[in-house]
């Protein structure tokens, strides 16, 4: 319901999702499909976050090593819709720079924008694009409202439940939530500026052995052409281009001066890397840099202190949680802030882990949830669960939970995310095709 109060417009909604990356978009769609009124706030003119603006261009780790599916639900629907548009390649496996195998779906970021538009429109979500968060108002332990800056001026939002999917947990930070130590005592994982390069002769490029790629990457890093000793790329569907993920930017992306500097340095690194690839990598001699990502892709900043802090030990055991709302199999994959290597802890062939609902609940608030890379997890655990497949699964769960809490508020109980009946939440997720173990 919309109201005009003086010169300020107020929009009331069951659920407000702050941040339209893939986690936030899945949360918004899931909540709306449960019958909630939903406003989705996004700073760009399109949805997708790191998946579109960051041009990551592949959804990794849907399966355990032996092929058991651990991510499905709305994430599967995204891929199915991408394929209808011709914007996704077939599910395949590739060899990482560590020598380990990983499964993935490569996709076209521009087409993903259309897919997310469709899902939001069909679900009845109200997208609020070109909107930046100004501040958050709280009443005790409850988020009472948010103000966002739009082209039409300041807009006030009044949610029953807030879902923070902003990546940096900007809304929860302004609401007074507590946060874990940045980096967990270690350096934050670096950001990356993706870049598109082509044309590539993929027959020649794809014929390079793991040892040959490693030697080329090591040479590029030693010569200063590559900021990271890797040549990791994602092929663009129906194209001879690829998106390369090989820059390294050691920053705290919550620092506005550092973030702007990283964008500039990232483009410089991408330009140098493209020159090295064209000059030195077989199959790439006719290629050139075609595009930068709209933004740097950020791996880690704030992580909320939730009712449960998920740890690497729990992932590696793995602990079976009674309130599990998503599963994953992506390894612990820590990109050091400096140097060309990475710290990689693979999972066994049939190893999958769970993410508990309590890790989505900020300890200091009663009507808010956090999704995406800022959920309540240790530095090492985040290095496994930060990937977009898992983020979509967590967003799916948060959207259903938010709708359930908002419905209870509408019945006079007040929106309490801790009062959401976990068995009913899990049942709704399973009906939606999600995998919980």
How do beta strands 324-328 and 233-235 pair? unpaired
pLDDT tens column, 299-337:
999 999 999 999 999 999 999 999 999 999 999 988 776
Structure tokens at 266: 């990232």
pLDDT tens column, 246-277:
999 999 999 989 999 999 999 999 999 999 99
Task: Report d(CA 183, CA 335) in Å as an integer.
Answer: 12
H or E, element range at 203? helix 202-206
pLDDT of 84: 98
Other C-beta atoms closer than 10 Å to the C-beta of 3 total: 11
3-state secondary structure of 353: strand
CB 402 within 8 A of CB 217: no
How do beta strands 153-164 and 142-150 pair? antiparallel
pLDDT of 99: 64
Q: What is the pTM of this model?
A: 0.95
Structure tokens at 133: 């968060």
Percentage with pLDDT > 90 across the chain:
86
pLDDT of 409: 80
Q: Residues 26-46, buried b or exposed e (16+ Cβ, 10 A)?
A: bbbbbbbbbebbbbbbbbbeb
Query: In sequence order, which residues have a C-beta less than 8 Å from that of residue 12 and are 6 or more positions away?
Result: 1, 2, 3, 37, 157, 158, 159
CB 47 within 8 A of CB 25: yes
Rg for the chain, CA atoms, rounded: 21
pLDDT at residue 134 is higher than 90? yes
3-state secondary structure of 251: coil
Least reliable range by pLDDT among 15-29, 185-199, 350-364: 185-199
- Based on DSSP, count helices (H) and strands (E) in the chain, helices before strands: 11, 19
DSSP label at residue 346: P
CB 390 within 8 A of CB 330: yes
Task: Report d(CA 200, CA 31) in Å as an integer.
Answer: 42
Question: 């997890």: which residue's tokens?
Answer: 377
pLDDT at residue 225 is higher than 60? yes
Give the distance from CA 271 to its chain's centroid.
Answer: 25
Task: Report d(CA 242, CA 72) in Å as an integer.
Answer: 26
CB 88 within 8 A of CB 105: yes
CB 129 within 8 A of CB 24: no
Other C-beta atoms closer than 10 Å to the C-beta of 348 total: 11
Angle between helices 22-33 and 109-123 in degrees, nearest 10: 20
pLDDT of 335: 79
Question: 């709708």: which residue's tokens?
Answer: 403
pLDDT of 5: 38
Task: Report d(CA 292, CA 388) in Å as an integer.
Answer: 20
Higher-scoring residue by pLDDT: 109, 334: 109
Nearest alpha-carbon partner for 167 in 382, 417, 405? 382
Structure tokens at 12: 């009331």
CB 360 within 8 A of CB 429: no
pLDDT of 339: 59
Q: Which domains does the chain have, with CATH numbers?
A: 2-187+300-431 (3.50.50.60), 195-292 (no CATH)
H or E, element range at 121? helix 109-123
Nearest alpha-carbon partner for 54 in 245, 338, 328, 242? 245
pLDDT of 342: 67
Q: What is the mean pLDDT of the chain?
A: 93
Other C-beta atoms closer than 10 Å to the C-beta of 130 total: 14
Q: For residue 410, what pLDDT band results from cuts at 50, 70 and 90?
A: low
- What are phi and psi for residue 141, nearest 5 degrees? -95, 10
pLDDT of 6: 38
Beta bridge partners of 59: 105
pLDDT tens column, 7-65:
468 999 999 999 999 999 999 999 999 999 999 999 999 999 999 999 999 999 999 99
CB 49 within 8 A of CB 90: no
pLDDT tens column, 425-436:
999 999 999 999
Task: Report d(CA 301, CA 380) in Å as an integer.
Answer: 13
Percentage with pLDDT > 70 across the chain:
94
């Amino acid at each position: 319901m919309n109201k005009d109060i003086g010169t300020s417009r107020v929009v009331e909604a069951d659920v407000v999702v702050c941040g339209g990356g893939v986690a936030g978009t899945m949360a918004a769609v899931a909540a709306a499909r449960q019958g909630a009124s939903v406003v989705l706030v996004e700073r760009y003119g399109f949805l997708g976050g790191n998946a579109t603006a960051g041009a990551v261009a592949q959804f990794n780790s849907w399966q355990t090593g032996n092929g058991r599916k651990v991510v499905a639900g709305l994430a599967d629907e995204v891929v199915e819709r991408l394929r209808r548009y011709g914007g996704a390649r077939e599910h395949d496996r590739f060899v990482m720079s560590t020598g380990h195998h990983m499964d993935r779906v490569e996709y076209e970021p521009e087409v993903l924008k259309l897919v997310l538009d469709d899902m939001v429109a069909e679900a009845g979500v109200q997208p609020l694009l070109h909107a930046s968060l100004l501040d958050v108002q709280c009443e005790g332990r409850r988020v009472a409202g948010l103000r966002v800056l739009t082209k039409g001026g300041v807009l006030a939002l009044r949610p029953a439940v807030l879902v923070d999917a902003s990546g940096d947990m900007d809304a929860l930070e302004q609401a007074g939530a507590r946060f874990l130590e940045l980096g967990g005592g270690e350096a934050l994982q670096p950001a990356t500026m993706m870049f598109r390069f082509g044309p590539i002769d993929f027959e020649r490029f794809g014929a390079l052995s793991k040892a040959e790629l490693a030697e080329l990457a090591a040479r590029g890093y030693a010569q200063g052409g590559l900021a990271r000793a890797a040549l990791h790329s994602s092929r663009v569907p129906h194209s001879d281009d690829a998106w390369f993920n090989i820059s390294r930017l050691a920053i705290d992306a919550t620092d506005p001066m550092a973030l702007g500097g990283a964008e500039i340095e990232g483009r410089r690194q991408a330009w140098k890397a493209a020159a090295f690839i064209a000059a030195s990598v077989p199959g790439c001699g006719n290629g050139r840099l075609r595009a930068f990502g709209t933004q740097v892709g950020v791996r880690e900043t704030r992580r909320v202190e939730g009712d449960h802090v998920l740890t690497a030990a729990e992932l590696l055991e793995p602990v079976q949680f009674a309130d599990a709302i998503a599963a994953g199999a992506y390894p612990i994959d820590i990109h050091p802030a400096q140097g060309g290597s990475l710290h990689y802890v693979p999972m066994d062939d049939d190893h999958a882990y769970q993410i508990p609902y309590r890790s989505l609940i900020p300890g200091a608030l009663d009507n808010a949830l956090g999704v995406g890379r800022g959920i309540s997890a240790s530095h090492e655990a985040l290095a496994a669960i930060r990937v977009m497949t898992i983020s979509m699964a967590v967003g799916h769960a948060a959207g259903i939970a938010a709708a359930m809490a908002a419905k209870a508020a509408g019945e006079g109980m007040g929106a309490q995310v801790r009062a959401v009946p976990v068995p009913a939440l899990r049942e709704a997720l399973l009906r939606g095709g999600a995998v919980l173990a």
